[in-house]
Amino acid sequence: MQKITKNDITGVILAGGQARRMKGQDKGLILFNGKPLIEYVIEVFNPQVSKLIINANRNHVKYSQYGFEIISDEYPDYCGPLAGMASALNKITTPYLVTAPCDSPFISDSLVSCLSLAIFNENTEISVAHNGERLQPVFCMIKKTLISSMNAYLTEGERKIDKWFSQHPIAIADLSHFPKSFENFNSQEEIIVSENNND
3-state secondary structure (DSSP) of residue 32 = strand
At residue 19, the pLDDT reads: 54
Mean pLDDT on 33-53: 96
pLDDT in tens, 152-190: 999 898 889 999 999 999 999 999 999 889 988 776 666
Of the candidates 105, 110, 109, 159, the residue with the CA atom closest to the CA atom of residue 137: 159
Domain boundaries, the chain: 6-197
Distances 134 to 34, 113, 157, 186, 190 between C-alpha atoms, Å: 31, 19, 26, 18, 21
Q: What is the CATH number of domain 6-197?
A: 3.90.550.10
pLDDT in tens, 64-98: 999 999 999 887 666 688 999 999 999 999 999 99
Least confident of 41-45, 85-89, 107-111, 195-199: 195-199
Mean pLDDT on 109-137: 96
Which residue(s) pair with 183 in the sheet?
none
At residue 18, the pLDDT reads: 56
Distances 22 to 39, 106, 185, 186, 195 between C-alpha atoms, Å: 18, 19, 9, 6, 17
What is the rounded distance in angstroms from the CA atom of residue 188 to the CA atom of residue 55? 22
At residue 31, the pLDDT reads: 92
pLDDT in tens, 13-41: 999 765 555 566 788 999 999 999 999 99
Quickly count: other Cβ atoms within 10 Å of residue 75's Cβ: 17
pLDDT in tens, 98-107: 999 999 999 9
Q: Quick one: how many helices (H) and strands (E) in the chain? A: 7, 9
